[in-house]
Structure 1
Amino acid sequence: MNAVNSQAVAITVDQLFSAAFSASRDPRSGEYMDGARAALAYRIEGARIGQPYQVGTAAADAFASGIAEGHAIWRRASGQPVTADGDYVGGLRIIGQLAADIEAQADDIEILLAALFDKLDALTDLAPTAADAVAAINCFATCAPRNAALIGEGQANIAALVAEGGAA
């Protein structure tokens, strides 16, 4: 994906964020709004979306929900056809947008796995039972980057088909 989305050149993160989170809507948590802002920054500036909250916490869940809204805000602002809930409606253009969303999720998987491996590497001097559990987690997690790579390959294939007009 390009560092800057060509549709977003005239739109700033602050403009979309301010419009979406005006005083006339129900309040959202800071974590939720952080997620929405992160998604907008990804769409407009090409900024990677990190994971600033511990996975499995309410804060991380709110952040993830905010990311989903941020992507929906972007789709509405960029003229992508969406339902009242911000979901996609049909069309080849929409498939291309879904491919971009897949790319973003694959990037997020890589970030989360890197954090997991850092935590696993920091575990030392464990009891044998705990060490066996950590080894099993490490084993399963080691397969996940390959799965993320396969997701990325699928995304690239979808994006290429969309660029060709859907020709198979």
Structure 2
Amino acid sequence: MRAKLSSRERIIRAARKAFAERGHDGVSMSEIAQMAGVKKALIYYYFPSKEDLFYEVWQYSIDELEDHVFSETSDENVYVSKLKRILRSYIDFITSKNEIKKIMDQERANLSREDNESWKRVRDRYEALKEKLSSAINDAKAAQEISKDVDPDSAADLILNGFSITEDPDGLESIREIIWRGLFSNSGE
């Protein structure tokens, strides 16, 4: 498998694994190079800093999450069905992509960092995902398919953050049900 992946791809995958295991601050570029089977200088050829590498891992991970969650719903016009699919896809993704879930959970606190341009880009990418989710919720609200009292931004925050409480499938299903009921309270559903 290693021969089929580009060096850049191997670096990103090794970094994702390392960041998931020990967080951004807990891993060195030397460790990532060793895991990827490349020289540390090659990492710096592709990524000028650890923050730039982390941003690339984050971007790659969020793209994968976004594609998984929204790809099957892009043509869906019934907003209730669309939201159900989004929630189920999100749970499916975070249970099957444990590394990405760990990175998101561990680094959520760093999203407020202002000390580095890469961290601002990490936050902006997360906010773009949240906005896409909020927009789907707002569409359902505008179509009067969910409660008029739902704040789309808060609901999107709850979805992105609420599932980090547990990894237990039953617990995740309970959280999904709580979110679902909140979306439909006072809506006739």
The two structures have a TM-score, normalised by structure 1, of 0.30
Instruction: Please state which structure has a larger fraction of its residues in helix.
Output: 2
